[in-house]
Copies of this chain bind each other. A is one copy, B any other.
């Protein structure tokens, strides 16, 4: 998941990377993504600034790893009999992480960075959990797609858009109720054929 760009495994990267990621996560949780400087992360991690830049080319790249580190370790399963239940469950698990970790603030910051910087845009595009459709898609359509089944891509797209907007406008509003609302709206959007006119 990390992007060390080193061909050979780095000699002495043992706990440093973890310390850096932990320091970055903690500072982001406390002060917000934008208010965290690389220098502060380095100081808190007990590491030289250059050590961070050795492994991550930019600040957003570092925080993409922070984000995935916070999210990946939780198994987002989203079990349930039907797509609605599964998606709602998935979002609830995700939102619980957003409430208990700095992930939501990191996500918001990364979206902001993506808006500003094309390089960050690419990192966000490919690096964020909900940016990768697979997790949502698995939740939505594990059993093959019937005729009336929602389109997984549309569901994913709408859900991600709503989550992002939530992260930007109100990073503290990731409640269970919101999970249900987003799941319902995403599924509804996906259920409707893209070409308008049908029931």
| A180 located at the interface, meaning its Cβ lies under 8 Å from any Cβ of chain B in the complex | yes
Q: Which residues of chain B are within 8 angstroms of A157 by Cβ–Cβ distance?
A: 162, 165, 185
Bound CA span A192–B187, Å: 9
For this chain, the copies found in one complex come to: 4
User: Are A158 and B169 closer than 8 Å at their CB atoms?
Assistant: no
**Which residue in B158, B160, B194 is a CB contact (below 8 Å) of A189?**
B158
Contact A184 B188 (CB under 8 A): no
Report if A161 contacts B (CB, 8 A). yes
Do A185 and B181 contact each other (CB < 8 Å), given the known contacts A115-B109, A125-B169, A168-B111? no
Of B125, B168, B180, B191, the contact of A114 (CB 8 Å cutoff): B168
Q: How far does the alpha carbon of A33 sit from the alpha carbon of B157 in the complex, in Å?
A: 25
| Chain A 145-176 interface mask (CB, 8 Å, partner B; 1/0) | 00000000010011011101101110000000
A104 to B165, CA, bound (A): 16
How distant is A114 from chain B, measured CB to nearest CB, in Å?
A: 6
